[in-house]
Amino acid sequence: MDNAVVIKTLFLFIGCFILVNLALNLGLAYKFKERIFRQAAIYWAGAFVLAIAESVVTQGVLAISLIIIFSIFPIFTIGNILLESYGESLSKTRYIIYGCAAIVVSLMLFVVTKSFFWTSLPISIYISSPLIIGTYYSAWKKRSETDFVQGILGNFVFILSTISCFYYSTDRMRPGALLFGFGSAFFCYLFASISLPIFTIQRLNKEKTESLEALVEARTIELKQAHKQKEKLLWVLLHDLANPLMAIKSNLRSINFTSKVDVEQYIKNIEHIEDSSDAMEAIISHVRESEIIRSRNIESLRIDECFKAMERLFDERFEQKNIKLIFQNSVPKNILINVDKTAFLYSVTSNLLSNALKFSFKGSEVIMRAKLVQNEVELEVVDRGTGMNIEIFENIFTSGHSSSSIGTSGETGSGYGVALAKLYTEEFAGNMKAVSKENHGTTFTISLPASTEI
């Protein structure tokens, strides 16, 4: 049979083969919306354009040499598909620059040599470079990460395509070489049609597995955070109810043990009990509805409002222990702090005052002062009590670590109050620090951003 007839028949067969694969991958890309199917469709579209160009341009050393440049589209695409299965990729910008350089060098060599070999060689090297890189990764750098089938197919496609590219630049003009060229191209496309689905499935499985692993990890982290959140809520609930409950007990004792009924004092005790009950209700409601830390209800709070709340909550308890509670506020009335009121009043300031009361000696005093320092409100709770030793002091801000000690009148506690107060202070964009000396007292300082009332 005449070579021309064979070549035409082979070309038509290759063209139909490419079109079938193109249609198949376009259908898959449309149905599944996966990037890898679009890449495969681009590969087959590039291969079809190359086949058309090869059949049209059959004469002229320069024309035939330059027509090879069309090979870069399918070669670059299949190289990228296979390399991405190893976690690597090719740079489009770099290959555009390299392509322009290869064309310039080919033109210069054509002017000098008029030789097909030398004219086409730079372009052949250029278009085969993705295949050479792919062979390097598949056969050497990533061989330990490649399964047997993937390695065999990848290496075969890369090596066969590389040989085909270099054969083109050396023997294309020899009589009968076109038949061999189309034959080798068909085998390249045949193995590409086999390897691409395998690599596609492997890559999709890898992407789905990684996505699932990321989802499981994110869900695990979310569950751990939710578990910690529940622990914190229980911790808050148990700890913060103690102060209002102590206030209620203190006022009840005052009523029960008063020999002579003082109506004014009686009313005052009842009001304090009511205030403490309201505080307990607010804490429980806050935990139930807002989940405190995660869903804070930030509001503006005046320092004098804070001081009044603390006075109502603690004055009876301080009085019973014969400790003087002094409030000093130099913050202007138009200066506010933005906090969750319930958390700040009953988990921060009340915890610090409760600690100061617990570790102060009878006949001493506790000072709660507030001042404006630049753009921050600085709140201090100062006592002249037992202070802290180094071991306790180093752990007072550690969340989940109990730093409980016995108070000067035998009071006990959970030991979590200060860490909890610091946790909330940081949630309100502030910070807390402490200075303590054993047997000389402790000073806690809270700094919070100041805002101005409009």
How does pLDDT run across 323-353, given as a tens digit for each residue? 999 999 999 989 999 998 888 998 899 889 9
**Domain limits, the chain:** 3-217, 295-452
Q: Considering the chain, what percentage of its residues have pLDDT values greater than 90? A: 16
Does the 295-452 domain belong in CATH 3.30.565.10? yes
25-39, 54-68, 426-440 — which is least confidently predicted? 54-68
What are the residue ranges of helices labelled H in 57-115? 61-67, 72-84, 92-113
User: pLDDT of 386-414, one tens digit each?
Assistant: 888 877 777 777 655 555 677 888 776 55
Q: What is the pLDDT of residue 292?
A: 47
Six-digit token string for 160: 């066969």
Whether 252 has a pLDDT exceeding 90, the answer reads: no
Tokens of 305: 């409002």
Q: Choose between 219 and 43: higher pLDDT.
A: 43
pLDDT of residue 335: 93
Q: What is the pLDDT of residue 353?
A: 92
| 368: pLDDT strictly greater than 80 | yes
pLDDT higher than 50, residue 290 = no
Comparing 412 with 372, the larger pLDDT belongs to 372
Q: How many CB atoms lie within 10 A of CB 215?
A: 10
CATH of 3-217, one of 1.10.10, 1.20.1070, 1.10.3470, 2.30.230: 1.20.1070
Cβ within 8 Å of residue 199, ≥6 positions away: 81, 82, 85, 150, 153, 154
The residue type of 450 is A
Which residue, among 311, 309, 372, has the nearest Cα to 345 in the 3D structure?
A: 309
Check pLDDT > 60 for residue 293.
Answer: no
> Which whole number is the average pLDDT over 311-333?
90
Tell me the mean pLDDT in the region 416-434: 85
pLDDT score recorded for residue 280? 66
